[in-house]
Amino acid sequence: MGFEEKSEKFLKEHGCTTWGGYNDPPLPYVECDINKFWDKFSMYGIRENEFRQVHLGKNHIENVHILIYHDCILMIKIDWEYKQESGYKYTPTCYLVGCNHEFTSVSDIRGNSKATCKICGYSYEYDCSD
């Protein structure tokens, strides 16, 4: 399965209605604070990533990087501006794709834990034992 062709299971788990393709972004997406990206970037490895040129509600194409983590999908757009006196200035804009998960966790005595989203039902298991 190619990156552009996500399965129905994948789309449901992440709260997406479509993966889009070529010049269409995955849907739904909402702008979010760039710190959401930095929090994920420093804690987890990126599972998959893709560069795509998409329409983001404007008439022109935007360059975005779509990053898939185990528990969320982020789309990063970089705007740049050049000024003679200071050079290039890069400004990132972050979008959350799909469900804005609200996790609840349950653990057993051995440290095995399961986090489940209250909104869409996506879940994952992790070990929090010492």
Q: What is the pLDDT of residue 1?
A: 41
- In the numeric block, the tokens 């804009």 are attached to 93
- Write out the residue range of the structural domain in which residue 70 sits: 8-99
Asked whether residue 2 is assigned to any structural domain, the reply reads no
pTM for the structure as a whole: 0.79
- Do 58 and 114 fall into the same domain? no
pLDDT by residue (tens digit) across 66-119? 998 888 899 999 888 888 888 888 889 999 999 988 999 898 888 889 999 999
- Do 82 and 93 fall into the same domain? yes
DSSP string, the chain: --TT---HHHHHHTT-SB--BTTB--BSEEEE-THHHHHHHHHS--SEEEEEEEESSSSSEEEEEEEE-SS-EEEEEEEEEEETTTEEEEEEEEEEES----EEEEE-TTSEEEEEETTT--EEEEE---
Asked whether residue 3 is assigned to any structural domain, the reply reads no
- Do 49 and 91 fall into the same domain? yes
- Do 94 and 121 fall into the same domain? no
